Amino acid sequence: MSYRIETLISKEELAKGIERVAEEINRDYGQKSVHLICIIKGGVFFMTELSKHLNMDVTMDFMAVSSYGSDTVSSGIVKIIKDLDEPIEGRDVIIVEDIVDTGNTMEYLMELLRDRKPSSLKLCTMLDKPSRRLKEVHPDYLGFTIEDKFVVGFGLDYDQKYRNLNYIGAVVFDE
Ligand code: 5GP
């Protein structure tokens, strides 16, 4: 099926939104160090851009997760593909995610990470699609709320492509 990609959030809007989120984090944490947990692969572009605007000491770790097949997404079963390298006990942790959709992934992950006793745990997401939410997940920091569209770019893929786009586009299938 043929499709095209329509710009949803331009490069400039995205940059402004990310700076705004960084300012909120700077204001809330002051000089307290933060430990960013990036959910790969999608969260990488957002985390690197966001972290450039943070003023406190920043450390980073990476985690890879996947939902079991699209037909079982609503079951909320999430598989850890790569765990963190370092313990998070006693640290001020911010999860950095590309997009929250049903909330299944983040509900599972936040519960798992809370059990590891961080001093605090917050969720920062570049995009939020609240219309499809199945779980009570509320991002603490949010770039943009979007409609129910399949989006690509700035880390987000379609069939592993388009992660490198410097804007957010919606995939539109031709009739
Ligand atoms: P959730 O568990 O909240 O339903 O799904 C979160 C994950 O689904 C995201 O981290 C992302 O990998 C994927 N996802 C959800 N919506 C989109 C979308 O519009 N585009 C892309 N590329 N991935 C999405």
Confidence class for position 9, pLDDT limits 50, 70, 90: very high
Ligand 1 site residues (CB inside 6 A) read 42, 67, 73, 97-106, 150-152, 156-158
The reply to whether the predicted model has a pTM over 0.85 is yes
Distance from C-alpha of 149 to C-alpha of 87, rounded to nearest angstrom: 36
Q: Distance from the CA of 74 to the center of ligand 1, in angstroms?
A: 12
Portion of the chain with pLDDT greater than 70, in percent = 95
Distance from C-alpha of 124 to C-alpha of 83, rounded to nearest angstrom: 19
Distance from C-alpha of 91 to C-alpha of 58, rounded to nearest angstrom: 11
In eight-state DSSP terms, residue 119 is S
pLDDT at 5 over 70: yes
Distance from C-alpha of 158 to C-alpha of 16, rounded to nearest angstrom: 25
SS3 110: helix
Q: Which of 62, 65, 81, 99 to mutate to test the pocket of ligand 1 (most atoms within 8 A of CB)?
A: 99
Q: Which pLDDT tens digit goes with each residue over 56-98?
A: 999 999 999 987 655 444 566 788 999 999 999 999 999 999 9
Domain 12-147: top CATH class: alpha beta
Specify whether 57 is catalytic. Answer: no
At 6, list the tokens: 């329509």
SS (H, E, C) 6-53: EEEECHHHHHHHHHHHHHHHHHHHCCCCEEEEEEECCCHHHHHHHHCC
Q: Distance from the CA of 106 to the center of ligand 1, in angstroms?
A: 11
Q: What is the mean pLDDT of residues 128-134?
A: 95
Distance from C-alpha of 171 to C-alpha of 5, rounded to nearest angstrom: 5
In eight-state DSSP terms, residue 128 is E
CA angle 27, 18, 135 (to 5 degrees): 90
Counting Cβ atoms within 10 Å, is residue 128 exposed (0-12), middle (13-18) or buried (19+)? buried
